[in-house]
Structure 1
Amino acid sequence: MGAWMAFGGDDLVVIADMPDDASMAGVALAVSAAGAIVGGKTTRLLDMPTAVEGMKKAKAVFDAYKPPS
């Protein structure tokens, strides 16, 4: 886990490796409900093997997709 102060649209960036999405949802909801963070957002990051798998699936869909004419 790491935290950084930032300039721009976000004042604080925290990167946390959570065991699953539900765990992160629990943390985000609890911190938000306590009023500690206002206007926070979460972004799920993908490791490279997962990203590559997604890219391969996207190519397969793209190759098979035929837009309506």
Structure 2
Amino acid sequence: METATDPTYPVGTTVILTANHMTRMDGAKATIESSTDETVYMVDTVINGMTLTNHKWLVESEVQPAE
């Protein structure tokens, strides 16, 4: 098991998260499901009326101009 700080882990690797912005995330186990070389953006989002800051991760190909 590895600490999730190295961006080069292969798909299927189990890691321990070091995120502490949500309850029970710090120290949680996670499995790398995919990776990308695209630029990744953290954005604010609203879920069930609650605003989450820097929470949703979007890759470059998912970002489009506002209409």
TM over 0.5: no
Larger RCO, structure (CA 8 Å, separation 6 or more)? 2
The two structures have a TM-score, normalised by structure 1, of: 0.28
Larger fraction in strand: 2
Compute the TM-score of the two structures, normalised by the length of structure 2: 0.28
Q: Which one has the largest radius of gyration?
A: 1
